[in-house]
Chains A and B, each alone.
Chain A
Amino acid sequence: MKKNIAFLIPFLIALLLAGCGTQQPQNAEEFRQAIPGAFMGKVETVEINRSFRDVAATWQKRAPECLNVTVRSTDTGSAGAHTVVAVYKPTVIAGKERAELHVQVDYKAGVLNVGTVPPGGYYRLVADAYPLEGSRTRLQWYGPSRGMDVVVKAIKSWASGENLGCPDLTKQ
């Protein structure tokens, strides 16, 4: 039973974001608007004791290196083998007043896509950084309350500069 539920998580998150007949978010702004009202949606804001410029530069360096990943998961249960192939795509947009990090996931196999899949895949997480006074940065992220924990942890760690390692995306 545990196995079956685990395999359904990506599908459930996509379904919950879609809502009852609602269109999937097709861009980062639509995702920001959809998440607060979505079941299992989460918005968190934290302040980082590091300059906005450094946060943006770290995201620009680490996100392409760590989040351009294809994860293949295979469950060999009693009903046979079931494989999910998820292609992660990060995008970083660094402006003067805001830096954005978008994470999209394109399910190439094993998941029934719900609604219109935006180019690059479903939006799974959007993180924004804003400059604050005193070389501090406000970090706000939008995403599911479960299922992207290692990515959220990595994005926060990159922002604070405490750990520049890559998240093990097989642990989602």
Chain B
Amino acid sequence: MSIIVKTVSRIISPLMLVIAAYIVLHGQVTHGGGFQGGVLVACAFILLLLAFGLDFVEEKVTFKFGQCFRSLGALMIIVVAFIGMFFGFWFFKNVGVYPYGFPGEVFSAGSLPLYNLGEMANVSASFLVAFYFLIREKRRNKK
């Protein structure tokens, strides 16, 4: 890509990561949530990928790291959902164990922030890994 695209994407992608962190961490207070923030994280890396090429991004975020990250995200959702069972609540019940009450603050709504974090990890790494493979497949067909 040309130098204009490279410079602009170099400036914009950290800002996208910051906005994604805001959307994920404030998912229970304002609009958004895990899925939207995760897609935004994936889009920040996909923007770098389109501007600088596949090899540049894959040095930073390897395929194995992506797989581990998204597996940890899915595992985190299930573990957080199960922890309530050991304290006398049912599966996916979110009241009592985690910080609760104080509506409007970040650490307020039971386990919803943790669910959002797990969803963010799962979605972002999933989209990134799928995108790696689709790009490679396109490159392979071109040769």
Tell me, yes or no, whether A binds B: no
B-side interface residues toward A, CB under 8 Å?
A: none
